Amino acid sequence: MSKKICIIDGHPDANPDHLIHALCNAYEAGAVEEGHQVSRINVGGMDVPFLNSQDEFDTPPPEPILSLREQIGVADHLVIAFPLWMGGMPARLKAFLEQAARAGFFLKPGQSDHEWPERMMKGKSARIIITMGMPDLMYRFGMDAGALKALERGVLGLSGFKPMHHTIIGSVGALTESKIESWMTFMKEIGGEAV
């Protein structure tokens, strides 16, 4: 069954040589080959302002974020890909997600302080792809996969995304060409399956 997929390429550098961009391209290629509809949000090069107050958070975001977040709204499946920077997601990607979340987009506030917010993303699935210089086992166990858990348990989990999957690619500086090709093949496969 064909799905609508939104890929958020969260690398803040638009230079096409980065591994994250290639992984997103491979995922998209596999999805398109299997007949899925793919939209893409490339954070690299975007001018994303930081949120500064609750008042800002309660109002809709500025363009182009207001229009871009509609790609998330109509998607059945969301992919967020980013390189691990200083143990977390790059600031520009985090700023984009904060801006996209404005005015109850991910979570609509309840009628009272005692009512749980409405999960606006129920029925959607997600995949998180993270690359890093350190070995993936060090990230998973030594650092407790903090950025991954923050996304899975935070904005995605709270807003209703389910199921969620993730791919962690460590030691990227030591990847051989054959290993990179293997990851590209894997991305095409999961893109085709829309998982």
What's 16's domain CATH number?
Answer: 3.40.50.360
Phi, psi of 6 (to 5 degrees): -115, 125
pLDDT of 45 strictly over 90: no
Question: Buried b / exposed e across 104-123, counting CB within 10 Å, b at 16+?
Answer: ebbbeeeeeeeeeeebbbee
Beta bridge partners, 168, equal 130
Work out how many domains the chain is built from and give that number.
Answer: 1
pLDDT at 110: 78
Provide mean pLDDT across the span 29-56: 96
Per DSSP, the three-state class of 128 is strand
Q: Average pLDDT of the chain?
A: 96
pLDDT of 112 strictly over 80: no
| Gyration radius (Cα) of the chain, Å | 17
d(CA 56, CA 99): 9
d(CA 82, CA 42): 11
Confidence (pTM):
0.96
What domain range is 151 assigned to? 4-193
Cβ proximity of 89 and 155 under 8 Å? no
pLDDT at 74: 98
Provide mean pLDDT across the span 79-95: 97
* CB atoms inside a 10 Å sphere around CB 45: 11
Q: Is the peptide bond before 62 cis (omega within 30 degrees of 0)?
A: no
pLDDT of 113 strictly over 80: no
d(CA 109, CA 62): 20
